[in-house]
Structure 1
Amino acid sequence: MNSILELQRKAHEEIERVEEATVQELLTKPKAHKEKLVQEHRVKTFVERVQQRSQYLLDLYQDVDGSRKAEIDAITGASDFGEFYARLRDIKDYHRRYPHAAVEPMELEFQERDLEKEEEELEKMFSGEEALGKYLDMHEAFDQYVNLEKVNKVNYLKYLDQFQKFESIPREIKSSPAYATYLQTLQTYLESFFERSQPLFDLRETRQGVMATFEPSWEAGTVVGWRQDGAMEIDQNAELFCPACNKQFSKKSVYTAHLTGKKHKKAASALLEKGVTEISPEEKKKARLAKEKEERDKMKPIAMAEQLVKEYVSILSAQRDETKAHVERKQTLTTEELVADAVEEIELSEEEEEEEEKIYNPLKLPLGWDGKPIPYWLYKLHGLGVEYPCEICGNFVYMGRKAFDRHFQEWRHAHGMRCLGIPNTRHFHEITLIEDAYALWERLKQGSKTEQFRADLMEEFEDADGNVFNKKTYDDLKRQGLL
C-alpha cells in the first residue's frame, strides 16, 4: 500500500495518538525525583516523535515529485470508479496472501511500558557524583582549569563558586588553545546536564536569547571582560605596535626586546627589500586597527561561549548551590562516614520512591477525596469522633452516626445476621447485640409478625379431578388408596 493519501492519514493518526499519550502522561503526578525524571524523558520522546512525523507530513504535502497530485487526479477524474476497484482488488489480494497477519492497535504502543528498563537507562545517563541530576560533576573541567598557565590555582569547592567569572582571567590566557578546549568542555557539559536533568527545558531558546543580546554588545565593545578600552588600548599603545611583524605589545620592555629578535630583523629586511623604508602614522594606525579587528574576530567565539556558560550557570544556580553544600559536607567526613552516607542516600531514595509524601495530621483526621485531612469543623459536625461498636459484626467499631446507620445494609452486618439464623429485615435496625437480636426474633415469631414456612401445611397438591389438598392431606389420602 504505497498510497500517499493513506500515508498522510496514518501519520496524522500517529500524531494524534502521541499527543493523547503525552496528555495522559502529564496528568499523572510523580511522587519521587526519579519518577519525575523518567516522566520528563518519556514526554520528550513523545515531543520528538511528533516533530519527526510533522516534518514527514510537511514533505508529503509539499509534493516535490507531484505524486500526491497525480494520485488525487486519478481518484477524482473520469476513471475514478476504475481506480477505486483497482485499489479494492489490491487490498483483497494482500489479505488473501496474508490471511493471518497480526494487527496491533497503535494505542497499545503507549500503554505497554517497561518501567524497570527506563529507570536503568536513566541511571546510565548520570555519573555517581551527579545523583540523577541533583548535583553537578565539574571534575573534568576543573582538571583542565588548574592545568592552564598563569591562572590562580584553587580547590574544587572554590572553583565551583567562581568558574563563571571569566572577566578575572587575563586576555593572554584566553587566546591560548588550552583555554578554548577548557571552555568547550565546560559548555558541552552544562548543555549535556540540561538535556539529562531537565529534558523539557528549551535550551535552543536560551541560546538564541543570549546570541540576540551578545551581537549588539560585541559590536559596541561593551561585553564584560572584552571591553575595547581594556588591555589593548590602541591610541595609548601606538608606540608599542610593530608594523613589520604586525603585532601589538602591552609592555615597553617586551617591545624593546622584540626589536632585537631574529623574527623582527627578518621581517624588517623583507620590508626593505620591497622598498619600504618608512611607514607613515596613518598606515601604522590602519595596520593596528586591522590587527585589532582580526584579533577580536578570532576571539568572538570564545566570548560567545563565555556568555552562554554564564547564562547556563544562572539557570542552574540551585543545583550549583546544592553541589557546593554537598562537596563541603563530604570534605568533613571520613572514609567510613562517606560509605555510610552513600548507603543512607540509597535507602532514602528507595523509601522516597516506595512511600507517599508524609502528610501532617496530628489529630488523625480522616482523609478527603484529595488525599488530605478533612477540616476539623467538618470532623466535629459529622460526629466522626464518636464510636459505635456492633457485636453482630464481630465487635467492629464504626466512626460517626452516618457510617453506623449505613452499615446495617452492608455485607458485614448481613453476614453476621445470616450466621445467627435471623433474617436481616427492617425490624432489626439499631440492634447491635446478639442477645437483643435473638430476643426480638423470638418475639416476632410468637406474635406471628414473621410467618414461618411449614411445608406440610403450605405446599399444595392437585389430584386428577382438580381437587387441591395440602401436602399432609394429600399424602394421607394417597396412602389409603383414595386418590
Structure 2
Amino acid sequence: MESVLEQQRSMHEEIERLEQAIVEEYLSEPKTHKDRLLLDHRVNEYLERMQQRAGALQGLYADSDGTRAAEIAAVSGPDEFAEFYQRLRGVKDYHRRNPNMEVEVMEMEFRNRDRDADLQALDRKFSGEESSGRFLDLHALHDQFLNLKDVKRVNYLTYLEQVERLELVPRTSKGAAYRSYLESLRKYFEDFFQRTQPLLDLEELRQSALAEFEKHWAEGTFPGWDAQPEADNDEQNSLFCLACKRQYSKQTVFDGHLTSRKHIKASEALMKQETAITVNQTAEMRQRVRDQTEQKRREIAVEEAVVRKYAEVLAEQREATRANVERKQALTEHERQQEEAEAAAEGDNDEEDEEDEERIYNPLNLPLGWDGKPIPYWLYKLHGLGVEYSCEICGNFVYMGRKAFERHFQEWRHAHGMRCLGIPNTKHFQEITSIEDAYALWDRLKKEKKSEKQRSDAVEEYEDQQGNVFNKKTYDDLRRQGLL
C-alpha cells in the first residue's frame, strides 16, 4: 500500500498532467462539428477527473485519522534513515515480485487516445434525428403535449416555435399530466445540454431562471400565472367539500362530485364521527387546501420558468431543427430514401464540413455560385459584377453590378435611409443615391404639388344664384363674408 505522501504526490502530478492535456486539446484547433464536440467532452472528462483528485487530496490533507502526521514525523524524526531504508526494501520487494511489469508514462494516456473509438462513443449519445447535436428531437414530447387536456392541436413545426410559450396552455389544463410533461421536457433539455455543451454550467443557468421567476411571481406578472382577482368567499365556500376536504373551481364539477361513491362514503364516515366539527375547524381545512393548491401552482410555475430559460438558450438549435424539418417535408419519398442511404453509408457529415472549409482557389475573387464554387469569368463580365455602385443614402454601401444596384432601391437598407431623411421611398427617387439630390427632388415635388393644387383652385368655376361665375377661391371668400 502506498504511503499518504506518495498518494498526494501522485495526485498532484496527475492534476498537472490533466491541465496540460486540456491546454493541448485547445491548441488542436478542431475544424468539424464533431471534432469540436469531441474536444468539449474530453475537456469535461479531464475536469471531472481533476475535481475527483482534488476532493481526494482535500481528504488526505484533512488527516482525520492522523496517518499523514505520523508519516511526516517518521520520515523527519531521529530514525529517518531507518525509515528510508525500510521503504526502499519495500520498493525492491515489490519489483522483485513483479519483474516484467510495464509502466506507461502518464502523458501517453492523454496523447494516444483513439479518435475513431471516441467518435463512435460520441455517436451513440445521439439519435439519428439529432444529427450529432445539430438538431433537437422533440417528437415524443410533441405527442405528450397533444395528449394534454384542452390544449390547441398544433403540428410539429408550430410546436418547435411555441415550445417555450407555456402561457398558451390554459390554466385548467395545468394538472398532474401537464407537470409530468414539463418534467420530461426539462430532463430532455438538461440531457441535451450535457451531450452538446458539457462545459455549460447548468446550475448557474437554473439559478438565473429561478431569480427571474421570484421577481415576476412576487409582482404577479409571471406569464400564464398573472395575478387575478379572487372569487367571492361565499362562492369558494360553497364549492368546498367538507367530507373529502377538497376545493373545486367549477359548479358543474362540484355537482358531479356530490353524486360519486367516494363522496357518499366520505359523508357517511363524517356523520358517524362523535365530535362535531366547528366552524373554525372548517375554515382551517379550507385554508389548508387552498395553501396546498397554491403550492402546487407555484411548483408548476417554477418548472415553467426553468423550461422557458432552457428553450431560450437553445433558440439557435430550435430554429435549425425547424429548417431541417421543413426541408425534409419538401423532399419526395425517393429523395428522402436516397438521403437516408447516403447518411447511413457516410456515417456522419464531417467530410462535407471539411470540404466546405477547404480553401477554394479564386484569384480573381469571383462571386460564388449555387454550388459554392466561383462563377465563370464570362458570366461575371456579362452581368457587370465588376462595376461598383455606391449609394450615399444607404451609408455609402457599395453594390456590385447593375442588377444588384437597381434591386436595392426596394430593399430594407435603402428604405430605412429614406425614412431617416423623412422622404417617402417612391418611384420618383429611383436612381437617386445622393442625399443632396434626394432633398432637392423632394422640395421640387412639394412645390409642384402645391402649384398644381393652386391651378386646380383657379380652374374650378362656381356660379351664384344670379349667374355670376367665380373661381373656387373667390367664391369661398365671398360666401364666408355673406356677400352671396
Q: Does 1:224 align with 2:223?
A: yes
Q: 1:223 to 1:286 in 2, by over 3 A?
A: farther
Q: 1:355 to 1:278 in 2, by over 3 A?
A: closer
Identity %: 46
TM-score under structure 2 length normalisation: 0.67
Letter in 2 for 1:202: D
Aligned counterpart, 2:31? 31
What 5-or-longer segments of structure 2 have no aligned partner? 366-484
What 5-or-longer segments of structure 1 have no aligned partner? 365-483
CA distance in 1, matches of 2:270, 2:201: 55
Aligned counterpart, 2:93? 93
CA distance in 1, matches of 2:124, 2:232: 51
Q: Which has the higher Rg, Structure 1 or Structure 2?
A: 1
Aligned counterpart, 1:142? 142
**Cα contact 1:271–1:277 (8 A) shared by 2:** no
Q: Figure out how many residues of one structure are paired with residues of the other and give that number.
A: 362
- Which residue of 294, 306, 309 corresponds with 1:308? 306
Q: 1:218 to 1:355 in 2, by over 3 A?
A: closer
Where in structure 2 are the equivalents of 1:359-398 lying within 5 Å? 361-363=362-364
**Cα contact 1:231–1:250 (8 A) shared by 2:** no
Tell me by how many angstroms 1:217 deviates. 5.4
Q: 1:282-326 CA distances to partner (integer Å, 9 max, x unpaired)?
A: 554433221011123344443322221111100000000111111
User: SS of the counterpart of 1:245?
Assistant: coil
Where in structure 2 are the equivalents of 1:247-286 lying within 5 Å? 247-274=246-273, 280=279, 283-286=281-284
Aligned counterpart, 2:124? 124
Q: 1:203 to 1:272 in 2, by over 3 A?
A: same
- Which residue of 309, 319, 322 corresponds with 2:320? 322
Q: Does 1:332 align with 2:330?
A: yes
Aligned counterpart, 1:170? 170
TM-score under structure 1 length normalisation: 0.68
Q: 1:356 to 1:268 in 2, by over 3 A?
A: closer
User: SS of the counterpart of 2:124?
Assistant: helix
**Cα contact 1:232–1:250 (8 A) shared by 2:** no
> Bigger shift: 178-187 or 339-348?
339-348
Aligned counterpart, 2:462? none
**Cα contact 1:164–1:310 (8 A) shared by 2:** yes
Aligned counterpart, 2:385? none
Q: 1:179-204 CA distances to partner (integer Å, 9 max, x unpaired)?
A: 33322221111111111111211112
Aligned counterpart, 2:386? none
**Cα contact 2:32–2:354 (8 A) shared by 1:** yes
CA distance in 2, matches of 1:170, 1:93: 76
CA distance in 2, matches of 1:227, 1:244: 32
CA distance in 2, matches of 1:254, 1:7: 68
Aligned counterpart, 1:192? 191
User: SS of the counterpart of 1:327?
Assistant: helix
Tell me by how many angstroms 1:50 deviates. 0.8
Aligned counterpart, 2:446? none
Q: 1:143-176 CA distances to partner (integer Å, 9 max, x unpaired)?
A: 2222233322221112112222222223343223
User: SS of the counterpart of 2:106?
Assistant: coil
Aligned counterpart, 1:358? 359
Q: 1:375-417 CA distances to partner (integer Å, 9 max, x unpaired)?
A: xxxxxxxxxxxxxxxxxxxxxxxxxxxxxxxxxxxxxxxxxxx
CA distance in 1, matches of 2:272, 2:219: 40
Tell me by how many angstroms 1:337 deviates. 2.0
Letter in 2 for 1:237: Q
Q: 1:107 to 1:278 in 2, by over 3 A?
A: closer
Where in structure 2 are the equivalents of 1:34-113 lying within 5 Å? 34-113=34-113
Aligned counterpart, 2:427? none
Letter in 2 for 1:337: E
**Cα contact 1:31–1:357 (8 A) shared by 2:** no
Tell me by how many angstroms 1:221 deviates. 5.9
Q: 1:275 to 1:222 in 2, by over 3 A?
A: farther
**Cα contact 2:74–2:80 (8 A) shared by 1:** yes
CA distance in 2, matches of 1:308, 1:110: 37
Tell me by how many angstroms 1:85 deviates. 1.8
CA distance in 2, matches of 1:296, 1:249: 13
